Amino acid sequence: MQFLWPGLLLLLALVPILVVLYVLGRRRRRPTAVRYSSLILIREALPSSSFFRRHLPFALFAVALAGLVIAVARPVVIANVPTNEATIVLAIDVSGSMCSTDVAPSRIQAAETAAANFIQGQSSSTQIGIVAFSGFAEIVQAPTTDRSLLFDALQSLQTGRRTAVGSGILAAIDAIAEIDPNVPKSTSDTSPGTEPAPPPKGDYAPEIIVLLTDGSSNAGPLPSAAAQQAADRGLRVYTIGFGTANGGALSATCAPNLVGREPGGGQGFPGGGGGGGFGNQNTPFPRGIDEGTLKQVADLTGGTYEPAESAEQLESVFQGLPTNTITKHEVLEIGFGFVGLSVLCAGLSFILGRAWRPLP
């Protein structure tokens, strides 16, 4: 159980204060002296009074007060409801290092094949979108159930300079926001907006982001800042680190068509994880994955991080994504239950207090 207004729980301090006042009041009460001819007759006439009868009405009143305070703090529980309205956005790194041939025929082509197989295996009702990012990010295909559009989008991917992981996450958020009115668009210095209130812990949207990269972020916003925006919207990000430790030569067929369409685009063959030009294309380009950042992004949003050093491992990682168990988390307020409990306790306190009221 969580609370939407947890600060109001401080009002629970009223309960122990009330108990202290009650105890002090009982101690200061002095019995009234009355003359009777026979104490035996008085004892027989008085109702039996016990500790339980004396203090139960007040205890019920204290419970009623505590229940009302809890209700005012708006307690909620998270209910997992299966949904057929799942949406998945694939954010794929298209930096120049993805041209490396350490994963045959190249990292980018292996990623395209694995993504295509993943798309093919999803339910026909699952909407899938594609985001490509290098030095900037672009929604290549908005979420759709049309598989032919998705396959065409994958085949159109081209490489560019640098790696902006944070921009890829923000573009994926915007792709989801276009189809889900409950998910606000991302914010940035150029497009400021109001950030939504973070959802209760464990409350997730029925959409996920799958981010694949072979390098470390060297452009755009910080991945952690972008991940926080995803977390504030209840979006889980599953990260994949792709490529081998030794790397490989660059594929000559990897066309840098994104160069010139990014801010500050340069000339020559585009760079990847390092951000600059590669120089000799026959020089092996090692994997430069920042696993710490990818794990941080996944942990912050409720996703997971998985490494993949081969096409087979990448296929396995895609197959292991929790797309078949995506649930919609509904937040249910249960304050009315505490209100009902308070009313019941207050009513019993009044009734028992009148029924067990001792004689003067």
- For 181-231, the DSSP string reads TTSPPP--SSS--PPPPPPPTT---SEEEEEEESS---SSS-HHHHHHHHH
The residue among 114 and 279 whose pLDDT is bigger is: 114
Cα 158 from chain centre: 31
- What pLDDT band is residue 10 in, cutting at 50, 70 and 90? confident
The residue among 48 and 85 whose pLDDT is bigger is: 85
Average pLDDT over residues 340-347: 85
Average model confidence (pLDDT) for the chain?
A: 78
Helix H or strand E segment including 311: helix 311-319
Average pLDDT over residues 102-117: 89
For residues 163 and 93, what is the distance between their CA atoms, to the nearest angstrom?
7
Cis peptide bond upstream of 223, omega within 30: no
Tokens matching residue 219:
């452009």
For residues 129 and 144, what is the distance between their CA atoms, to the nearest angstrom?
6
Asked if residue 258 has pLDDT above 80, the reply is no
Q: So what's the pLDDT on residue 239? A: 94
**Strand, helix or coil for residue 270:** coil
CA atoms within 13 A on the CB side of 229: 27
Average pLDDT over residues 306-327: 82
Asked if residue 138 has pLDDT above 80, the reply is yes
The residue among 236 and 333 whose pLDDT is bigger is: 236
For residue 82, which phi and psi values (nearest 5 degrees)?
-60, 145
Q: So what's the pLDDT on residue 262? A: 42
Cβ-based neighbours of 116, under 8 Å, separated by 6 or more:
150, 151, 154
What are the Cα distances from residue 204, in Å, to 226, 272, 329, 342?
A: 16, 33, 6, 32
Contact 327, 80 (CB under 8 A): yes
For residue 255, which phi and psi values (nearest 5 degrees)?
-85, 130
For residues 78 and 333, what is the distance between their CA atoms, to the nearest angstrom?
9
Lowest-pLDDT range, 23-32, 171-180, 248-257, 313-322? Answer: 248-257
- What pLDDT band is residue 87 in, cutting at 50, 70 and 90? confident
Q: Which of 177, 169, 99, 173 is nearest to 136 (CA)?
A: 169
Average pLDDT over residues 320-332: 66
Percent above pLDDT 70 for the chain: 73
For residues 39 and 74, what is the distance between their CA atoms, to the nearest angstrom?
55
Asked if residue 307 has pLDDT above 70, the reply is yes
Helix H or strand E segment including 70: helix 51-72
Asked if residue 250 has pLDDT above 80, the reply is no
Q: So what's the pLDDT on residue 1? A: 73
Q: Go through the domains of the chain in sequence order and give each one's CATH number.
A: 2-79+333-355 (no CATH), 84-325 (3.40.50.410)
Asked if residue 174 has pLDDT above 80, the reply is yes
